[in-house]
A and B are shown apart, each in its own frame.
Chain A
Amino acid sequence: MTLDPVSLMALFADYSGLLDAGRYDAWLALFATECRYTIMPRENHEQGLPAALIFCDSRAMLEDRIEALRDANKYNIHNDRHVVGLPRIVGERAGGGVDVEAPFAVYQSDQEGETRLFATGLYCIRVALDAHGTARIADALVLLDTAAVPTLLSTPL
């Protein structure tokens, strides 16, 4: 498999569709065994500050985050709907990997059926090919334009 724009669009479709469906284990499976996942307010990124809203620099930490979401945290009852724009390849890596960016919007709906724009931002993702030639996310930096998070951030973006 080669990482052309169509296969990257399929990856983003899986990524956002699985999150919106609440299928977190399948979403986790999109990540490489060694991976990093960061949600960073644009404000910090632009000032060169390292702190993030969510920072998981191992697959295990990302799994812990999902486990806490399922088993320990309480949060607003909601549904997310990701709308992901067209991916743009911004760099190529050895071994067939690429750096890809795509803009996104996430709308959030509550039980009363009311929807609000929850977040917009940019996915900056490094995709690598695993031993079987399958595309896996090695590094996902979610740059959050909506740095003033409405209410709280529970489910991953």
Chain B
Amino acid sequence: MIDATIWPALDYSRVPYRLYHDPEFYDREQARIFRGPAWNYLALEAEIPRPGDFRAAYVGDTPVIVNRDRDGEIRAFVNRCAHRGALVRRELCGNASEHICIYHQWCYALDGQLTAIPFRRGVRGEGGLDRDFDMGAHGLRPLRVAIANGAVFGTFCADAEPLETYLGEPILAELRRVLHRPVRVLGYTRQRIRANWKLYAENTRDNYHASLLHEFLVTFGLDRATQVGGVRMDARHRHNITWAEADSDTDETARSAYNGANIRNDHLRLREPGLVGFRRERTDNLNLIITSIFPGMVLAVISNSLAIRQIRPRGVGEVEVHQTLLGYEDDTPDMALHRLHQANLVGPAGLVSMEDGEAIELAHRASRPDRDRMTVIELGGGGVISDRDYRVNDVPLRGFWSYYAELLDIEPAGAVR
């Protein structure tokens, strides 16, 4: 039974393990979050610049095509033939004037409309479809599309709130700040983690772990609990921005706070220190901005590496983290090379991110057998969910669960929001 009694605490400071493991939650999430009123990141406008350009994407575990039609309009629809339910577009990306299912060659235009069916009238007057078969009712299922600073979002829900309202001002400001000039895709990485997707979504909102689990960050001062930083959420607390300011602490203050542990740059020294060098390129001095957009988008700025991650659930026990690495169109050759160097920091082999795959697999594995036990989310205190201007907190995880409960219709009376 999925109902509001699942929550042991009204401030979402306790999450029973069954939420990560029970298939009934997974199915409900797909229906009520991903195919519900949430806006899902699909692609960048820059990835499909010309009419006919298309890319494969996912909304939850539903395969989606996003393309630019002949009029230059961006459209998205489910990648599934109306006839037999087969995947229509098999390539990851390309350019096409229509989408044709290989199975029986039903043909769809770039706006998703069904335009042609082979042997529609049969052969020699025999067979084929009845005359009243409605072509118009058998297009590819469309998504509503909206764009924010070149990032394309889609939703299945016709009456979902506008994208701008959904994101809220703090998140829109982050998109403006990072995607403020034309971007160039540098490449993609994919990582398959044997853990529930929500463990990854929580991890990106967890300010507490970054400066403990990721020793590389700590050692080289890229991310330490002693930096000036904090968390900032939208009004509904479903999204989060984790931020930290460059050079806002010293090795000495860090060494004393960590009591000597982890701070080892006295003996651990990079032969190529440029790898971690932060070149200021915005008006702010932030060298870490991790923006998590509910349900599955992460815009990650770590030093000068820029990436958009998409969390793609693959059943209750596996998630793919798909990452698009970015630079700017007008990067100098030197800056372009710097970004390729700093791509070493992130992704499945990232010097500051490889640990995440291991950590959330450990959490998934050990929580599975005992589903009525629960996680503890209390760093920065329980109770009210609000922004913090310090780093040792995991408050945004409770924001995530609060909105999750609302969408799954299991929000208990008197719960914090």
Contact = CB atoms under 8 A, between A and B. Distances in A.
Contact of B189 (A41, A47, A67, A71): A41
B157 to A, nearest CB: 29
A52 B355 contact: no
A60 B355 contact: no
Contacts of A56: 344
B351 A149 contact: no
Contact of B190 (A55, A63, A147): A147
Contacts of A44: 187-188
A64 B193 CA distance: 26
B253 to A, nearest CB: 20
A155 B184 CA distance: 30
B187 A50 contact: yes
Contact of A41 (B185, B187, B341, B354): B187
A74 B343 contact: no
B340 interface: yes
Q: Which of B188, B343, B349, B357 has the most CB of A within 10 A?
A: B349
Contacts of A64: 270-272, 275
Contacts of B215: 72-74
B216 A72 contact: yes
A26 interface: no
Contacts of A151: 191-194, 348, 357-358, 361
Nearest to B219: A72
B264 interface: yes
A93 B115 CA distance: 55
Given A71-B268, A74-B213, A151-B192, A54 B349 contact: yes
A90 interface: no
B347 interface: yes
B192 A148 contact: yes
Q: Which of A49, A54, A152 has the most CB of B within 10 A?
A: A152
B190 A51 contact: no
B349 A53 contact: yes
Contacts of B53: none
A47 B93 contact: yes
Given A61-B271, A72-B216, A74-B215, A153 B187 contact: no
A103 B357 CA distance: 27
A149 B192 contact: yes
B311 to A, nearest CB: 14
B325 interface: yes
Contacts, number: 119
A153 B346 CA distance: 11
A58 to B, nearest CB: 6
A72 B270 CA distance: 12
Nearest to B195: A151
Interface in A72-127: 72-76
Contacts of B264: 71
A57 B271 CA distance: 13
Contact of B191 (A63, A68, A152, A154): A152
Interface of B is mostly: mixed
B56 to A, nearest CB: 12
Contacts of A72: 215-216, 219, 268, 351
A43 interface: yes
Contact of B354 (A39, A55, A57, A154): A154
B188 A49 contact: yes
Contacts of B358: 74-76, 151-152
B349 A39 contact: yes
B340 A50 contact: yes
B1 interface: no
Interface in B242-300: 264, 268, 270-272, 275
B68 to A, nearest CB: 17
Given A43-B92, A74-B358, A76-B358, A53 B189 contact: yes
A102 to B, nearest CB: 21
Interface in B182-206: 185-194
Contacts of A68: 216, 351
A149 B349 contact: yes
A74 B355 contact: yes
A22 interface: no
B11 interface: no
Contacts of A54: 344, 349
A43 B186 CA distance: 12
B320 interface: yes
A76 B190 CA distance: 17
Contacts of B272: 58, 60-61, 64
Given A41-B187, A152-B348, 14 more contacts: A44-B187, A51-B188, A54-B349, A61-B344, A71-B268, A72-B351, A73-B215, A147-B188, A148-B190, A149-B348, A151-B194, A151-B361, A152-B349, A152-B358
User: Which 10 A-B pairs have CB atoms at the shortest separation, nearest pair first?
Assistant: A51-B187, A60-B271, A152-B357, A153-B349, A149-B348, A51-B186, A49-B187, A44-B187, A148-B190, A72-B216
Interface of A: 39, 41, 43-44, 47, 49-58, 60-61, 63-65, 67-68, 71-76, 147-154
10 contacts: A43-B190, A54-B344, A61-B272, A63-B271, A64-B271, A65-B351, A76-B361, A148-B192, A151-B357, A154-B349
